[in-house]
Structure 1
Amino acid sequence: MTETLYPASDTRYAQRWPVLGAEEIARLERFGTKERYAEGAMLVEGGGRAPGLAVILSGEVKVTQPGALEPRLITVHRAGQFMGELGQLSGRPSLYNAQAAAPVEALVIAPERLRAVFVAEAEIGEIIMRALILRRVGLIAGGVGGPIIIGRADSSDVLRLAGFLRRNGHPHRELDPEADPEASCLMTRFDIATGDRPIVVCPGGQILRNPSEYELARCLGMVETIDPDRQYDVAIIGAGPAGLAAAVYAGSEGLAAVVLDCRSFGGQAGASSRIENYLGFPTGISGLALMARAFNQATKFGVEFAIPEEVVALDGTQGEHRLTLASGGSVKARAVVIANGVDYRHLAADGMEAFEGGGCIHYWASPLEAKLCTGSDVVLVGAGNSAGQAIVYLASRARHIVVLVRGESLSASMSSYLVDRIEGLPNVTIATRSEVSGLEGSDGVLSAVRWRSRGDGEEHVTQTRHLFLFIGAEPRTSWLAGTGVALDRHGFVLTGTNAGDGRGILETSRPGIFAIGDVRSASVKRVASAVGEGAQVVAALHQHIQPLRTAAPAPAL
């Protein structure tokens, strides 16, 4: 077994593994129950349900990586320390094994009681929350505690699965059988056919063959069946900046909230490599880091998440709306907030269909895509802020970037600070009044992009295996057809007076159904604006829900 994953020289060791004093432990006793474990007993096994946060009162607990190709010691907990990471906030399956290295007595705090700790014991709660976050960050950085994805590094399905886990803040490892002998042996041992690749080895030992995101999430315990008879105060559709803001404020104000998203938390903002114009972050912050903080904050306040879970239909009456899910389940809520944003617009160019899904066409620039592009030439289409952020990020990895812009200049649609930065990049060429005319390649592998200048009509060819598209998006509202929720001519949801007389500014044409963020007609397409609407809609939710609660019959004794 290798040495501990986090040695004492770790600069944040004391924050990641704090030791609580006797007084602090005494204040926590009312939230938990004392349990005893014999030497060698398993407190929790990877993939199994952890009982909650465990404060070690005496003895030692050895925490190791589960289901690993190579055993790895994460840490050893001793008296005064507590065992757990972010999964303990929601009772999700454990990402580690924990075994008593000596007789152990522990104070076990269940997930629902742990949330009570954050409210009643704010100072201790801050220590615990910081440690849980740092531990998850460490697991992600080390690829510890999550599934192992085995497949070619440039495989579109490897990128799909790894991207899904990364954007949902879930640790994982990727092994290429063409470069890693252990991965190659596993493929041979389990007789994995080429068509079944990649495979995913889950912490519990299950092996999935090229699974869908939903199948992978179910195996990891990331999504569970929602009780169709439970009535939530609000169901929030979409976990982008607007949906997460609504979740944080709804949860902090005592509303029973559930958030559903078909992909991951963060939306388009979560895919941004760096956001530099968001209030309070003068040095910038990655979209994923910002959205992960919001996700953890909402979880802290007891908000439930179902990701990936897609809403396909909406019906019911005022005060009891019902959402039908693609998985076959349903959700019942007194109010609904539509915040599911937009879909990336696809390029209409000759040969495009042959390369979609082949790992050559990208709609965001995360570290996964940047790694593939290191030292290569790439073509990027777009002139908005998302495109600008991607250009700046990719320029540090790619050899050369050709940027195709339909308009006369970048400044017409991009913030000036990004334009100035891009103009100073030596490996970026801006081609204005230009557009893609066709793609070349074979067997789903891109080899070149043809593009034409609309000024002189001349066609150019750039040799590349990677094309990035940031050409706008369309509202994700087709599922609202026939629901009575009014849309504008572009498919965005109408709210306020545009939806009908007497409507609140964020309420749709149906009472009790609200729309916020990019999906809302006439919204300002900025992260700060989406967050503002998410906070604002909670006041409207209270006004709508309070009379319904008052009118509800008292439960039978």
Structure 2
Amino acid sequence: MRPTILTVDDDPMVSAAIARDLRARYGADYRIVGTTSGEQALGVLAELALRDQPVALVVADQRMPGMTGIEVLERAREHVAGAKYLLLTAYADTDVAIRAINDIGLDYYLLKPWDPPEERLYPVVDDLLDDWVRAHPDHTSDLRVVGHRWSDRSYEVKTFLARNHVPYQWYDVERDDEARRLATLAGAEPGDLPLVLVPDGETLRAPTTRDLAGALGLRVRAEQPLYDVCIVGGGPAGLAAAVYAASEGLSTVVVEREAPGGQAGRSAAIENYLGFPKGLSGADLAARAIAQAARFGAEMVLANDVVGLETRGPVRAVLFGDTEIEARSVIVATGVSYRRLGASGVDDLTGRGVYYGADASEASQVRGDEVYVVGAANSAGQAALNLARYAKRVTMVVRGPSLDATMSSYLVERIGDAPNIEVRARSEVVGAAGERHLEGLTICQRDTGATEELAAGWLFVFIGASPRTDWLGGEVVRDGHGYVVTGPDLLGAAYDARWTLPRPPYALETSVPGVFAAGDVRLDSMKRVASAVGEGAMSVHLVHRYLATT
């Protein structure tokens, strides 16, 4: 059954033209349906909904008598909530179109005329359809994961699959008869869970992420003996560096411990990133960047935990548990991790109701439950809004007097407008309790010292950041918190003895020549996606300068 692309324009000639252009490009994979009025379009959508036939894209002209394009798209949500929406408009209507991005969730607006379609129409529609396909995968070949809802290993497996854009179906042995049937068929012992049932492979029993990556055909070893640049970390900085390095002809490999995207890849919405007026999810940004880097020839090596860095003459070696990668230069883009919550009982329940960060794709697991979020930065705000779509109530526990000083104003406003989000200011979590999973929290009011015991099944922690840079060893200078010192800062009173070359260090260069740092891992970085992308690109420019002198 081919998904439908529906067009609506009251001008028959324009309607025929848009349907013709769409059919020429997408007719093999999509059913193109053209209509000439809003009422006719809504009637077609209602019929498709009754038949349970998917609609991928609705394209509407704004200036139509009786019903504007925006009104058509708003009413279309009653029948096809998951479709993408494209508005065709004149330049004079752009203000209306921009408002519609916020008001009705318009995905994109396109100025008429769209000739030539190869330059003005198809790139836009390609992106919209790619997004729709990712959100509506064909489930016939999905992995099946069988495990416990409150198992830390099950959570790790699901998170790894989601963040690497591998579709799967989840079966809970405590809730689903089918899960118990599958576990019995596999002869699973309690220690075998989670099971990962691979359609064309052997069943995996409590796999490590490295085992899982290998079984799925994801690359876990580098292919070349020597690279121009090895990028450690696949967040926004690392992916940007990969795109620029590979596109400029450098042999490039990216090594990522978990999944590309970093912390940004887990965000439900990045709304202040340049060029995306509606915003985009972290997973979408990561997927686009991965495809872009792969297109230029960058290698992506997953499920490898870096343990050391060695200088071998003109070569730098990045060390792993059982292998290594040699490169003429290295870019450290490992980002940061959320700091651990020091409350009693939390460590014992991590992965079983207590989580650091929140993956956007897993928010539906909290449906109907009471959820607590610790933190007051943008990442905590985005997570709270995403979780609130499913949870009965989300309570944000904030140490400060309000969110205003640490969170972007647009998020503060949305949280204030959300009926099921409560902000508990001047408060902190001091205890967690539960047998097999989190069942309750102890929250302290900081001004009075009074404590309160509350029932809770979910706690998501976003309390600042800590860089994992111990693997760099003593040669790479870091500050007292572990952030990498770069560029002119190395020449200050505290670090001048560490730099030995006659030239000064390049702006993002560490105390080891040829090793650069970009993004959140670097001292005094901005901790924003856009700045991380900029530093990733800038680091490649500096790599070129370094390689030209060696």
- Same-fold status (TM-score > 0.5): yes
CA apart distance, 1:163: 1.1
Pair 1:191-2:201 in alignment: no
CA apart distance, 1:409: 1.4
| Distance (whole Å) between structure 2 residues aligned to residue 14 and residue 215 of structure 1 | 43
Q: Secondary structure at the match of 1:141?
A: coil
Mapped contact 2:152–2:350 kept (Cα < 8 A): no
| Distance (whole Å) between structure 2 residues aligned to residue 363 and residue 496 of structure 1 | 32
Q: 1:252 to 1:167 in 2, by over 3 A?
A: same
Pair 1:161-2:157 in alignment: yes
Q: 1:183 to 1:426 in 2, by over 3 A?
A: closer
Match of 1:428 in 2: 421
Q: 1:230 to 1:136 in 2, by over 3 A?
A: farther
Match of 2:540 in 1: 538
| Distance (whole Å) between structure 2 residues aligned to residue 433 and residue 458 of structure 1 | 11
| Distance (whole Å) between structure 2 residues aligned to residue 317 and residue 13 of structure 1 | 57
Mapped contact 1:321–1:334 kept (Cα < 8 A): yes
Q: Secondary structure at the match of 1:175?
A: strand
Match of 1:221 in 2: 217
Mapped contact 1:318–1:512 kept (Cα < 8 A): no
Pair 1:306-2:301 in alignment: yes
Match of 1:350 in 2: 344
Q: Give ranges in structure 1 of 5+ residues lacking alignment.
A: 1-5, 20-121, 549-557
Q: 1:232 to 1:288 in 2, by over 3 A?
A: same
Residue 332 (structure 1) aligned to one of 309, 318, 326: 326
Residue 477 (structure 2) aligned to one of 479, 486, 489: 486
Q: Secondary structure at the match of 2:287?
A: helix
Match of 1:33 in 2: none
Match of 1:464 in 2: 456
CA apart distance, 1:18: 5.0
Alignment-mate amino acid for residue 526 of structure 1: R
Q: 1:342 to 1:199 in 2, by over 3 A?
A: same
Q: 1:181 to 1:406 in 2, by over 3 A?
A: closer
Mapped contact 1:199–1:210 kept (Cα < 8 A): yes
Q: 1:240 to 1:294 in 2, by over 3 A?
A: same
Match of 1:32 in 2: none
Q: 1:430 to 1:215 in 2, by over 3 A?
A: same
Residue 370 (structure 1) aligned to one of 353, 360, 363: 363
Alignment-mate amino acid for residue 253 of structure 2: V
Q: 1:242 to 1:131 in 2, by over 3 A?
A: closer
Alignment-mate amino acid for residue 513 of structure 1: V
| Distance (whole Å) between structure 2 residues aligned to residue 137 and residue 306 of structure 1 | 25
Mapped contact 1:139–1:145 kept (Cα < 8 A): no
Match of 2:90 in 1: none
CA apart distance, 1:349: 0.6
Query: Within 5 A, what are the aligned runs for 1:119-198?
Result: 130=126, 134=130, 137-138=133-134, 141-178=137-174, 180-198=176-194
Mapped contact 1:378–1:467 kept (Cα < 8 A): yes
Deviation track 1:65-92 (CA, whole Å, cap 9, x = no partner) reads xxxxxxxxxxxxxxxxxxxxxxxxxxxx
Pair 1:455-2:447 in alignment: yes
| Distance (whole Å) between structure 2 residues aligned to residue 468 and residue 188 of structure 1 | 33
Alignment-mate amino acid for residue 373 of structure 2: L
Percent identity of paired positions between Structure 1 and Structure 2: 42
Query: Within 5 A, what are the aligned runs for 1:55-454?
Result: 130=126, 134=130, 137-138=133-134, 141-178=137-174, 180-227=176-223, 230-326=225-321, 328-358=322-352, 360-443=353-436, 445-454=437-446
Deviation track 1:421-444 (CA, whole Å, cap 9, x = no partner) reads 11122222211111112112212x
Q: 1:505 to 1:147 in 2, by over 3 A?
A: same
Mapped contact 1:17–1:131 kept (Cα < 8 A): no
| Distance (whole Å) between structure 2 residues aligned to residue 135 and residue 456 of structure 1 | 49
CA apart distance, 1:366: 2.8
Normalising by structure 2, we get a TM-score of 0.74
Q: How many residues align?
A: 433
Q: 1:306 to 1:17 in 2, by over 3 A?
A: farther
CA apart distance, 1:319: 2.7
Match of 1:524 in 2: 526
Q: 1:140 to 1:296 in 2, by over 3 A?
A: farther
Q: 1:398 to 1:132 in 2, by over 3 A?
A: closer
Match of 1:495 in 2: 486
Q: 1:8 to 1:424 in 2, by over 3 A?
A: closer
Q: 1:135 to 1:416 in 2, by over 3 A?
A: closer
CA apart distance, 1:318: 4.8
Alignment-mate amino acid for residue 527 of structure 1: V
Mapped contact 1:361–1:466 kept (Cα < 8 A): yes
| Distance (whole Å) between structure 2 residues aligned to residue 285 and residue 507 of structure 1 | 31
Deviation track 1:219-269 (CA, whole Å, cap 9, x = no partner) reads 111024324x62100000000000000001111111110000100000000
| Distance (whole Å) between structure 1 residues aligned to residue 131 and residue 525 of structure 2 | 37
| Distance (whole Å) between structure 1 residues aligned to residue 244 and residue 215 of structure 2 | 31
Mapped contact 1:448–1:461 kept (Cα < 8 A): yes
Mapped contact 2:222–2:299 kept (Cα < 8 A): no
Q: 1:18 to 1:542 in 2, by over 3 A?
A: farther
Mapped contact 1:152–1:176 kept (Cα < 8 A): yes
CA apart distance, 1:130: 4.9
Alignment-mate amino acid for residue 157 of structure 1: R
| Distance (whole Å) between structure 2 residues aligned to residue 139 and residue 415 of structure 1 | 28
| Distance (whole Å) between structure 2 residues aligned to residue 384 and residue 191 of structure 1 | 46
